[in-house]
């Protein structure tokens, strides 16, 4: 059941304020290492290129692009890119970053709630729609999101999603005790009060945020129902951040389940075409 529109607007507003506060902390953090990123000029991750393939001359849109690092990496692989985020501070930082990296002639960043992205991008369609880690948990409902994904895809276009596995979001931060619902419940978000963010650095002025979980089948079915044909779904037993204290960092910078522990899904990758 949906909560009243007033509740939903209030929660999205709180999330936007919380994300606005995080931007300047993140751009100065060791975690995102903007200086190193500018120096190293990385392209997209090899595991992404392996699925998406050659993007030379293609168009790509990243939904919930934050301050644009991942979006801009695709310019270095030959794409023209668009990043969408509802945080004005993130869009401003992404635009600045594109200039510092000398990639502003093949990129643009648009401030929009993801649910309104189709309209705010003027009906434009893209060869690739790209969504990565830490995006879906901010969305109260996936069905309208999947509709936007389908609207944004050009005929024959590809959708790529790399996300935290929703099973892990049911655990307390110790990664041992079950605490939260696994299934989508738009009117009952998880309420977080924290003046820190997931990077090193300062405190946020708007500590309250709201998050929602979506089960793996809710994610997959929302896309199928919008006409996407899923060709790849992989559950990973590794992750890219210290989600639980018992995960061990390996030599590649990934976080692994220690030997002897039950193997659980920690992240997943989904690839589809329309």
Ligand X SMILES: C[S@@+](CC[C@H](N)C(=O)[O-])C[C@H]1O[C@@H](n2cnc3c(N)ncnc32)[C@H](O)[C@@H]1O
The binder of ligand X chosen from 11, 73, 86, 266 (CB under 6 A): 86
The binder of ligand X chosen from 73, 135, 158, 213 (CB under 6 A): 135
Strands (E), 91-167: 107-111, 126-132, 153-164
87 binds ligand X, rule: CB under 6 A: yes
The binder of ligand X chosen from 25, 60, 72, 90 (CB under 6 A): 90
- 60 backbone dihedrals φ, ψ, rounded to 5°: -135, 140
CB of 260 to ligand X, least distance (A): 31
Please work out the total of residues on this chain that contact ligand X, with binding judged by CB under 6 A. Answer: 17
Identify which range of 79-87, 152-160, 215-223, 236-244 contacts ligand X by CB under 6 A.
79-87
CB of 180 to ligand X, least distance (A): 18
113 binds ligand X, rule: CB under 6 A: yes
Q: Considering only residues 47 through 76, tell me which ones interact with ligand X, judged by CB under 6 A.
A: 64, 66, 70
Biggest CA–CA distance in the chain, Å, is 52
Strand pairing report for 126-132 and 208-211: unpaired
- Tokens 């369609």 correspond to 125
CB of 226 to ligand X, least distance (A): 18
15 binds ligand X, rule: CB under 6 A: yes
∠ CA 16-106-29, nearest 5°, is 45
CB of 262 to ligand X, least distance (A): 27
134 binds ligand X, rule: CB under 6 A: yes
19 binds ligand X, rule: CB under 6 A: yes
The binder of ligand X chosen from 27, 132, 158, 213 (CB under 6 A): 132
CA dist 169 and 181 (Å) reads 8
Q: Could you tell me the two tokens for 6?
A: 């007033």
197 binds ligand X, rule: CB under 6 A: no
Closest to 53 in 3D by CA, of 171, 156, 150: 156
Q: Could you tell me the two tokens for 133?
A: 């880690």
Sheet holding 255-256: strands in order across? 238-239, 255-256, 248-249
130 binds ligand X, rule: CB under 6 A: no
* Nearer to ligand X (CB atom), residue 66 or residue 108: 66
Strand pairing report for 238-239 and 255-256: antiparallel
Q: Using CB atoms, what's the residue nearest to ligand X? A: 134
CB of 94 to ligand X, least distance (A): 9
* Nearer to ligand X (CB atom), residue 70 or residue 127: 70
CB of 258 to ligand X, least distance (A): 25
Q: Could you tell me the two tokens for 134?
A: 């830490």
CA dist 211 and 56 (Å) reads 36
Q: Could you tell me the two tokens for 137?
A: 């948990």
The binder of ligand X chosen from 8, 14, 49, 133 (CB under 6 A): 133
* Cα first-last separation, the chain: 29
CA dist 111 and 115 (Å) reads 12
Residues that bind ligand X (CB under 6 A): 12, 15, 19, 64, 66, 70, 85-87, 90, 113-114, 132-135, 138
């Amino acid at each position: 059941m949906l909560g009243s529109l007033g509740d939903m607007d209030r929660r999205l507003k709180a999330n936007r304020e919380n994300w606005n506060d995080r931007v300047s902390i993140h751009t100065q953090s060791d975690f995102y290492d903007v200086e190193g990123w500018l120096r190293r000029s990385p392209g997209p991750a090899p595991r992404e290129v392996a699925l998406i393939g050659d993007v030379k001359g293609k168009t790509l849109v990243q939904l919930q692009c934050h301050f644009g690092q991942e979006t801009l990496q695709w310019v270095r692989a030959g794409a023209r890119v668009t990043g969408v985020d509802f945080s004005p501070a993130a869009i401003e930082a992404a635009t600045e970053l594109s200039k510092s990296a000398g990639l502003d002639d093949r990129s643009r960043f648009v401030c929009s709630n993801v649910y309104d992205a189709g309209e705010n991008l003027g009906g434009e369609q893209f060869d690739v729609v790209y969504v990565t880690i830490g995006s879906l948990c901010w969305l109260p409902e996936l069905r309208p999101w999947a509709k936007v994904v389908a609207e944004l895809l050009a005929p024959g276009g590809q959708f790529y999603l790399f996300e935290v596995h929703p099973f892990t979001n049911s655990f307390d931060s110790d990664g041992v005790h079950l605490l939260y619902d696994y299934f989508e419940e738009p009117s009952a978000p998880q309420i977080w009060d924290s003046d820190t963010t997931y990077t090193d650095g300062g405190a946020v002025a708007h500590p309250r945020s709201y998050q929602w979980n979506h089960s793996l089948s809710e994610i997959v079915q929302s896309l199928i129902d919008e006409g996407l044909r899923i060709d790849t779904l992989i559950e990973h037993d590794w992750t890219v951040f210290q989600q639980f204290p018992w995960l061990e960092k390996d030599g590649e910078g990934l976080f692994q389940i220690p030997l002897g522990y039950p193997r659980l899904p920690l992240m997943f990758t989904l690839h589809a075409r329309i």
